[in-house]
Amino acid sequence: MGNFSAIGQNSDQGQSPAKPVEAAQVSTKGLQWINDKNSGNCAACHAMPGVAGVQSTFAPPLHEAGQKWTPAELTQWVTDARQMNPNTLMPSFGSAKEWQKANSSIPILTTEQIKSVVDTLTTWRAPSSISNRPPTKPINPSNKPLQHLSGTAFLSPELLELQNDLSSNPIGLWTEQGRALWNKRTSGSSCAQCHGNVAKMRGAALGFPRWSASKQKLVNLEDQILTCAERTGAALKGLEDPDVLSLSALLHSVSQGMEINMTTDATTQSLWQNQLRAGEKLFNTRIGRMNLACSHCHDQKIGLQMRAEVISPGHPTGFPIFKMSWQAMGSVDRRLRACFSGVQAELPEPGSAVLRQLELYMKMRANGMLVEGPLLRR
């Protein structure tokens, strides 16, 4: 569920809020939909004080909703919060009206499921010791503005320790594999035979994605590695091929510490700008059954939590990443597709134009920041 701060602005409207009840009267049936990641998933945004393992601070906690709102009002908020506040970030769980690029036209919750959620919200109270806590502030691990921080700033102490431990960090295995591939000759030339020592490639990763005149589209670094593989006869199979990602990790590693400065030449300026504008539009467009835009999380909610994940500005300074939940290296392409899946939107094909446009815009947002990748992520 979404933005209860907007709800509180109208607490003097409508009927009198429901009166508190004893804990024994709490209806727990709705907790199934509140917790289920594949349906209501309210716990992704809202804290649930008194329920172990739920840490979300994206939106206010749920335990006081039944004291602020009547069952009828809560039903409207859950069914289609846009009728109460057109700018809300709360998904319309009972209405598919005006969804864009959704992966299904079926409402997220049925009428009966919404009723069970409302029954739980109207009867549930957290212990007073929890209810009286002050509002949670965004996590800011430095004195810099949140918008200027990379994802590294939001790593847990345990992940940061692993990141800095060269003997245990799994990324070292990937860069070493990349170095071996760089010097390996296939049926054609090796990377080293064309480009020389990989150290000479410092800065090469910074210019991607870029406009390809021959392909008439944006290409990123992994695309370029696949194009080179076609010329040399290397048997690389797709953007998430471990060898492609190993080479990408190597090329990013030799560019660490360099400043991102996305530009293009005069001959491709107009085409490049069109792609950039398309990426910016998509970044700010609500999509999917969750009806959220990238900007809602990565501009407006930086430092807050969705379950155990702290929201970063989304700068692509650390890619490719070794994501612990994947137990593998992954590209920007894969991470963006995971976000599409998270908001329950139609999933773009790997390497599609919309993913390259988004990557370009995100790289532009990171102009002036330093290349850090490859890095660990949760």
How high is the pLDDT of residue 10?
35
Q: Where are the domains of the chain?
A: 4-131, 146-377
Contacts of 56 (CB under 8 A, 6+ apart): 43, 44, 45, 46, 47, 48, 305, 306, 307
Q: What's the pLDDT tens digit per position in 42-60? A: 989 988 776 666 678 899 8
In the chain, what percentage of residues exceed pLDDT 70?
87
Q: What's the pLDDT tens digit per position in 254-283? A: 999 999 999 998 899 999 999 999 999 999
pLDDT at 7 exceeding the cut of 70: no
How high is the pLDDT of residue 11?
34
How high is the pLDDT of residue 53?
63
User: Which residues lie across from 376 on neighbouring strands?
Assistant: 322
Which candidate, 219, 220, 316, 210, places its Cα nearest to that of 269?
210
Residue 319 banded pLDDT, cuts 50, 70, 90: very high
Contact 30, 110 (CB under 8 A): no
How high is the pLDDT of residue 3?
37
Type of residue found at 97: K
Which two structure tokens, joined as six digits, stand for 158?
A: 């345990």
Contact 254, 62 (CB under 8 A): no
Residue 35 banded pLDDT, cuts 50, 70, 90: confident
How high is the pLDDT of residue 141?
65
The CATH class for the domain spanning 146-377 reads mainly alpha
* 4-131, CATH topology level: Cytochrome Bc1 Complex; Chain D, domain 2 (1.10.760)
| CA distance linking residue 167 with residue 70, whole number of Å | 57
